Amino acid sequence: MAKFREKIKALIFTAGMMLFILSAVLGALSVGYLSDMLPAEEYQDRGVHTFVPYEVYPVSVKNTGASGRDRRMNPTKTVYKVYYFDRTGEGYQWSVEVLSREQGQALIDAVETVDRRVLGIPSSGTYITVDPWESAESYTAGLKRKYVVILGASGVYLFFYIIAMGIWYYRRQDV
């Protein structure tokens, strides 16, 4: 029974330490993303455009689903993207990832149009597309909310983990 209790303690300590590291990394990433985020004033609303599917292509992306040897042997994997072009001919494009070439071809054959709002970024000469009901303000507010929630959750975990480790350390000193 004592061995079982020691194994449980070791498992809890290891899981807590892994979550500590994960929280620290997520907190640092969210601070970085918050500092790099463009303010809403930097976006130029170019209106809602209708996009039509025109092609499905295989694309190589980083293989994040594998681990260890599998990731070293297969650092990339192939996914399929359906590419859409702007019906008005202004040159805007948008893409969405699909599970297979057949699913993408079914989208193209159905000729289902998609409405997207185009937000231009004049400082870099690029653009992004968002849902048609979103504005630059709601898009940046949503990003900010997401990063602040991640930062808050990781901060709360780090705070309580440090408190718990401090209590554990001082209780151990008394023994």
Query: C-alpha distances in angstroms, 93 versus 48, 115, 117, 120?
Result: 13, 12, 12, 12
> Which SS3 state, helix, strand or coil, does residue 43 take?
coil
- Interval 110-149: pLDDT, tens: 888 899 999 999 988 899 999 999 999 999 999 999 999 9
Could you give the percent of the chain with pLDDT greater than 70? 96
Tokens 């599917």, located at residue:
53
157: pLDDT strictly greater than 90: yes
Confidence at residue 71, expressed as pLDDT on a 0 to 100 scale: 67
Structure tokens at 31: 């601070």
Strands 93-98 and 114-121: unpaired
User: Could you tell me the pTM of the whole model?
Assistant: 0.73
- Interval 163-175: pLDDT, tens: 988 888 888 776 5
> Which SS3 state, helix, strand or coil, does residue 36 take?
helix
Cα(82)–Cα(103) distance, rounded to whole angstroms?
9
For residue 29, give the amino acid letter.
L
